[in-house]
Protein backbone atom coordinates (compact mmCIF):
# COMPACT_ATOMS: atom_id res chain seq x y z
CA UNK A 1 0.00 0.00 0.00
CA UNK A 2 1.34 3.42 -1.01
CA UNK A 3 1.80 6.07 1.62
CA UNK A 4 0.13 9.40 1.00
CA UNK A 5 2.34 12.42 0.88
CA UNK A 6 1.64 14.75 3.78
CA UNK A 7 1.96 18.46 3.14
CA UNK A 8 3.81 20.28 5.88
CA UNK A 9 2.41 23.63 6.94
CA UNK A 10 4.06 24.75 10.16
CA UNK A 11 1.66 27.52 11.12
CA UNK A 12 3.60 28.58 14.25
CA UNK A 13 6.89 28.73 12.36
CA UNK A 14 5.38 30.60 9.42
CA UNK A 15 3.71 33.05 11.79
CA UNK A 16 7.04 33.77 13.52
CA UNK A 17 8.76 34.21 10.14
CA UNK A 18 5.97 36.49 8.90
CA UNK A 19 6.15 38.73 11.96
CA UNK A 20 9.92 38.96 11.70
CA UNK A 21 9.82 39.71 7.96
CA UNK A 22 7.28 42.48 8.52
CA UNK A 23 9.49 44.03 11.21
CA UNK A 24 12.53 43.98 8.93
CA UNK A 25 10.54 45.38 6.00
CA UNK A 26 9.24 48.26 8.11
CA UNK A 27 12.70 48.99 9.60
CA UNK A 28 14.06 49.19 6.05
CA UNK A 29 11.32 51.69 5.19
CA UNK A 30 9.45 49.53 2.68
CA UNK A 31 5.70 49.27 2.34
CA UNK A 32 4.32 45.99 1.09
CA UNK A 33 3.67 47.71 -2.23
CA UNK A 34 7.26 48.94 -2.54
CA UNK A 35 8.69 45.54 -1.65
CA UNK A 36 6.43 43.88 -4.20
CA UNK A 37 7.33 46.35 -6.94
CA UNK A 38 11.07 46.32 -6.34
CA UNK A 39 11.28 42.55 -5.95
CA UNK A 40 9.05 41.68 -8.90
CA UNK A 41 6.73 39.72 -6.63
CA UNK A 42 3.02 40.42 -6.47
CA UNK A 43 1.54 42.50 -3.68
CA UNK A 44 -0.81 39.65 -2.83
CA UNK A 45 2.15 37.28 -2.49
CA UNK A 46 3.89 39.63 -0.03
CA UNK A 47 0.64 40.07 1.91
CA UNK A 48 0.03 36.30 2.03
CA UNK A 49 3.56 35.69 3.32
CA UNK A 50 3.16 38.33 6.03
CA UNK A 51 -0.19 36.91 7.10
CA UNK A 52 1.23 33.35 7.07
CA UNK A 53 -1.26 32.12 4.49
CA UNK A 54 1.41 30.67 2.20
CA UNK A 55 4.70 28.89 2.67
CA UNK A 56 7.18 30.90 0.55
CA UNK A 57 9.73 29.10 -1.58
CA UNK A 58 13.43 29.54 -1.01
CA UNK A 59 13.67 31.44 -4.29
CA UNK A 60 11.06 33.91 -3.03
CA UNK A 61 12.94 34.34 0.24
CA UNK A 62 16.22 34.89 -1.66
CA UNK A 63 14.50 37.58 -3.75
CA UNK A 64 13.10 39.32 -0.67
CA UNK A 65 16.51 39.27 1.06
CA UNK A 66 18.19 40.80 -1.99
CA UNK A 67 15.50 43.46 -2.33
CA UNK A 68 15.67 44.42 1.34
CA UNK A 69 19.48 44.27 1.14
CA UNK A 70 19.79 42.03 4.18
CA UNK A 71 21.85 38.89 4.61
CA UNK A 72 19.76 35.77 4.26
CA UNK A 73 20.42 34.71 7.84
CA UNK A 74 18.80 37.93 9.10
CA UNK A 75 15.44 36.80 7.76
CA UNK A 76 15.76 33.66 9.89
CA UNK A 77 17.15 35.29 13.04
CA UNK A 78 14.16 34.75 15.31
CA UNK A 79 13.07 32.26 17.91
CA UNK A 80 11.14 29.32 16.53
CA UNK A 81 8.16 28.47 18.73
7 has pLDDT over 80? no
State the pLDDT at residue 6. 78
Provide the pLDDT confidence category of residue 26 given band limits of 50, 70 and 90.
very high
Q: What is the mean pLDDT of residues 38-42?
A: 98
Please name each of the domains of the chain with its CATH number.
29-81 (1.10.260.40)
Secondary structure in 3-state letters for the chain: CCCCCCCCCCHHHHHHHHHHHHHHHHHCCCCHHHHHHHHCCCHHHHHHHHCCCCCCCHHHHHHHHHHHCCCHHHHCCCCCC
Give the number of C-alpha atoms closer than 13 A to the C-alpha of residue 26, restricted to the C-beta side: 7
Residue-level pLDDT at 4: 83
Averaged pLDDT for residues 42-59: 96
Q: What would the mean pLDDT of 32-37 be, rounded to a whole number?
A: 98
Span 30-41, mean pLDDT? 98
Amino acid sequence: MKKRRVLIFDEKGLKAFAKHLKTIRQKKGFTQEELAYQSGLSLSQIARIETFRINPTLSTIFTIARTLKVPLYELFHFDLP
